Amino acid sequence: MDLLPEYGLGSVAIFTVLFILLVDLMHRRQRWTSRYPPGPVPLPVLGNMLQVDLNDIPNSIYKLRQRYGDVFSLQMAWKPVVVVNGLKAVREVLVNCGEFTADRPPIPIFEHLSPGPKAKGVIFAPYGPEWREQRKFSVSTMRNFGLGKKSLEQWVTEEAGHLCDVLAEKAGRPFNPNTMLDKATCNVISSLIFARRFEYEDPYLIRMLKLLEEGLTDVSGFIPEVLNMFPILLRIPGLADKVLQGQKNLAAMLGDLLTEHRKTQDPEQPPRDLTDAFLAEVEKAKGNPESSFNDENLHTVVADLFAAGIVSTSTTLSWALLLMILYPDVQSRVQQEIDEVIGQARRPEMADQARMPFTNAVIHEVQRFGDISPLNLPCITSRDIKVQGFLIPKGTTLIPNLSSVLKDETVWEKPLQFHPEHFLDAQGRFVKHEAFMPFSAGRRACLGEPLARMELFLFFTYLMQCFSFLVPDGQPRPSDQRVVGVLATPSPYELCAVSR
């Protein structure tokens, strides 16, 4: 009698192991065909997790590509993943097969952070009517508030002036520009969303940017990846709250801004900003359960646009300033073109861009070389597709490697070097390449691309007009190596801004 419980436990253990192995084999069944992309052999349950550095996935993908080719497969726990590299394969996935690769796979940590089931947002929302409604709203609202018109351009130019005033106060002393760039780009997106800008020393702004940094750290690296692969771990009491605390605090702070904003809204007046426009749509949608305009979704849409609107542009500008101090000859040519086209008597305008091919080429090359988003956000196939002769089944997560396109050796003359001539023809005219896709491509291409392009041109030319940027005396030449997190940022550096 005493042996029965032990025997029973042993049987349960054996059954459990066999069940897990059977489930694991079922998840790998697509590998049993030669038409599925090749890849490293996965371990039971863990898959290829031990063959990928979760703290530096782009570097792991670079190494795996050398071995398995432009289209290869991984098994991350039980999730089948196909990584796509190179211009031809990435365009095939995002453009040619765009209708069937526009959906997003579930991302458990973001679902856990969601304020409610109706909060889909615009970045991670499933591909469907709600996503289309929100993307159309976001794009049209930005256009209505002056994207391509003078009003938003004035906001950006005025903020560039504030940024230059702060840099002038440094009086040529060494400093790290990242915090000030964050504040400037934050004020642009805050003006668009909340019709509000902050002074650079405002404790509220400083606190908000600190929480944004913490929130981005929360969702990158080893632990968040493990939570996404094994979402059952999110049920452990207190674990998710501890790991994702920065995200929760930022959401609460943005929620406070929305609450404050509602108190000053006047429905009888034209909308002041994107939030007013969204609230007007909420009012129109009352009684329509199919609408994506609701209070829950307002919080998520604002959070999506707020985070995306700050860090990508700020990081690109940080790369631009670093590359100017590393390549003073390029900086001099930019300043010469600014002096010839704009002069010192007035400030840059978007209309100047067409007459400034070298400056335009430099900005594009900064984006290509900086390569701040090496891996596009994952998508998932909604039906079986073929890519480069391989069959990728429905329900497979796809990771388009944008870095492999921006540094494709078959396209770029010097893919691993900073070389503005990549965007100039023999006559010095600006040319744009098909392989230039830092904003991705297809149906999920970055909806904020026009605003980002405006900010990059106006901030960069304004800064170059006002200052020369130098490596501080006595300091070694900074590295152009990147630090990989949510975005690929420059290694920390300092510079001096000397008034021209």
Euclidean distance between the first and final Cα of the chain, in Å? 92
Closest CA to 371 of 400, 403, 412: 403
Distances (CA, A) of 5 to 9, 11, 13, 14, 132: 6, 10, 12, 14, 57
Q: Rounded to the nearest 10 degrees, how much is the dihedral formed by the CA atoms of 341, 342, 348, 353?
A: -10
Q: How many CB atoms lie within 10 A of CB 473?
A: 8
Distances (CA, A) of 40 to 26, 139, 149, 350: 18, 41, 51, 49
Strands annotated E in 146-300: none
Closest CA to 259 of 247, 244, 275: 275
Residues near 61 by beta carbon (within 8 Å), at least 6 away in sequence: 52, 83, 85, 375, 399, 401
Q: What's the pLDDT at 486?
A: 83
Please tell me whether residue 491 adopts helix, strand or coil conformation. Answer: coil
Tokens of 341: 């086209």
- Asked whether 364 and 412 are in contact (CB, 8 A), the reply is no
Please tell me whether residue 364 adopts helix, strand or coil conformation. Answer: helix
What gap in Å lies between CA 132 and CA 443, rounded to an integer? 10
Please tell me whether residue 495 adopts helix, strand or coil conformation. Answer: strand
What gap in Å lies between CA 185 and CA 197, rounded to an integer? 10
390-392 and 385-387 beta bridge pairing: antiparallel
Rounded (10°) angle between helices 295-326 and 357-370: 110
Tokens of 333: 């040519």
Question: Which helix (H) or strand (E) segment is 189 a member of?
Answer: helix 178-194
- Asked whether 273 and 192 are in contact (CB, 8 A), the reply is yes
**What angle (nearest 5°) sits at the alpha carbon of residue 489, between those of residues 486 and 495?**
155
What gap in Å lies between CA 483 and CA 464, rounded to an integer? 25
Give the burial string for 269-302 (b: 16+ CB within 10 Å, else e). eebbbbbbbbbebeeeeeeeeebbbbebbbbbbb
What gap in Å lies between CA 435 and CA 190, rounded to an integer? 32
Tokens of 357: 């091919």
Q: What's the pLDDT at 499?
A: 95
Distances (CA, A) of 376 to 58, 145, 288, 418, 454: 11, 28, 34, 22, 22
Locate tokens 């090749």: which residue?
38
Tokens of 142: 């930005």
Please tell me whether residue 292 adopts helix, strand or coil conformation. Answer: coil
Q: What's the pLDDT at 64?
A: 96
Record the pTM.
Answer: 0.91
Count CA atoms closer than 13 A to 374's CA, side-chain side: 17
Contacts 24+ apart (CB under 8 A), 186-190: 186/310, 186/314, 187/159, 187/162, 188/155, 188/156, 188/159, 188/309, 188/313, 188/451, 188/455, 189/305, 189/306, 189/309, 189/310, 190/306
79-84 and 397-400 beta bridge pairing: parallel
Closest CA to 336 of 316, 362, 310, 315: 362
Tokens of 51: 């063959």
What gap in Å lies between CA 47 and CA 80, rounded to an integer? 9
What gap in Å lies between CA 428 and CA 475, rounded to an integer? 35
Tokens of 216: 């981005």
Q: What's the pLDDT at 279?
A: 93
Q: What's the pLDDT at 277?
A: 93
User: From the first residue on, what is the mean pLDDT of each consecutive set of 10 residues in the chain (500 residues)?
Assistant: 50 53 52 79 88 89 95 91 96 95 90 80 90 92 73 90 96 95 96 92 94 85 82 83 85 91 86 91 88 91 89 96 98 98 94 97 98 93 95 95 95 96 95 94 92 96 97 94 89 95
Distances (CA, A) of 350 to 100, 126, 451: 36, 35, 11
